[in-house]
Amino acid sequence: MNRKEINEKIEQYGRGFDLLIATLIDIPAEARSTRPEPNEWSVHEIILHIADSEAMSAIRARKLIAEPGSTLMGYEESNWADALNYKDQNAEDALEIIKFARQSTYNLLKRQPDEVFTHSVIHPEYPDKPYTFEKWLNIYAQHIPDHIEQINATYQTWKDKSQ
């Protein structure tokens, strides 16, 4: 990726929280706790997952900047959802985590020199190749938009069942 492409990805990453809020504004409270299927997450649980993922991604970005070559901590998101009882956690608190983790990381990324974006670390889910900053940026620039699609599908299922 050249610097122009990196900057475009950083800007996409920076818009994630606002896109999430714009999506959630139209979803009534009663629709947020309904799971489309027993083994699928509700909108509420998706928000909690995004918060944990944003906290993890903020640390990963900092490891990529400050400790290239180091090893990242992996995590199993479905285990976190169950063990941390996502359904009983506060979604507003989670939104604050998302907002500030994303905002602080976005501001950090904008100030990095080109050479930082050549850094890589070891990721337990990708043991055969380095986990590059480019890979991190591609994953997390798209993470919230991907979950917005999931939120919209979950909300649509709720609307269909409510009619």
The predicted-structure confidence for 62-97, as pLDDT tens digits, reads as follows 999 999 999 999 999 999 999 999 999 999 999 999
Q: Supply the pLDDT for residue 156.
A: 96
Q: Does the pTM of the predicted model rise above 0.85? A: yes
∠ CA 80-84-85, rounded to 5°: 115
pLDDT higher than 90, residue 57? yes
Task: Delineate the domains of the chain, giving CATH numbers in brackets.
Answer: 3-33+40-162 (1.20.120.450)
Q: How far apart are CA 138 and CA 161, in angstroms?
A: 35
CB-CB contact of 119 with 64 (8 Å):
yes
> Comparing C-alpha atoms, which of 114, 93, 92 is closest to residue 5?
114
pLDDT higher than 80, residue 163? no
Burial class (CB in 10 A: 0-12, 13-18, 19+), 28: exposed
Q: How far apart are CA 7 and CA 26, in angstroms?
A: 30
**Residue 71, SS3 per DSSP:** strand
Average pLDDT, the chain: 96
Q: Supply the pLDDT for residue 127.
A: 86
Give the pLDDT mean for 31-53: 96
∠ CA 120-123-124, rounded to 5°: 160
Q: Supply the pLDDT for residue 162.
A: 85
Q: Supply the pLDDT for residue 28.
A: 96
